[in-house]
């Protein structure tokens, strides 16, 4: 996580401040975490997938396209993930059913 934060900080640059939204995974709040000055961590409340619909999307992709399989190597896993994402994005009904929260609708209706 420290390497990831350092890369985000470096890529954003010293004149940009990043608000990084995180779930409640243990390593996101580790005492050994070095948070760069240009990053603020914004933790989501526990058990709030409606605030981060992408969690539901990944769960769907894993359960429908990636589970119960053995992958030969990293490239095969990456290709399967890419294929799963592409298949998911070609199905707008499923995407809407997973991400159709009232706060999203009101945020984009203005």
pLDDT in tens, 1-31: 889 999 999 999 999 999 998 877 766 677 8
Q: pLDDT, tens digit, for every residue of 58-108?
A: 999 999 999 999 999 999 999 999 999 999 999 989 988 888 877 776 666
Largest CA distance in the chain: 47
94, 88 Cβ separation under 8 angstroms: yes
pLDDT at residue 107, as a whole number = 60
4, 41 Cβ separation under 8 angstroms: no
Q: 9: how many CB neighbours lie within 10 A of its CB?
A: 20
Nearest to 66, CA basis, from 86, 96, 90: 86
pLDDT at residue 106, as a whole number = 65
pTM (two decimals): 0.57
């Amino acid at each position: 996580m420290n390497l990831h934060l350092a890369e985000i900080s470096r890529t954003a640059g010293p004149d940009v401040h990043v608000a990084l939204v995180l779930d409640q995974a243990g390593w996101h709040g580790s005492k050994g975490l070095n948070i760069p000055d240009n990053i603020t961590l914004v933790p989501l409340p526990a058990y709030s997938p409606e605030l981060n619909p992408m969690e539901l999307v990944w769960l769907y992709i894993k359960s429908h396209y990636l589970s119960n399989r053995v992958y030969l190597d990293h490239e095969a896993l990456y290709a399967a993930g890419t294929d799963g994402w592409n298949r998911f994005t070609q199905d707008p009904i499923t995407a809407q059913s997973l991400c159709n929260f009232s706060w999203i609708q009101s945020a984009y209706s203005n």
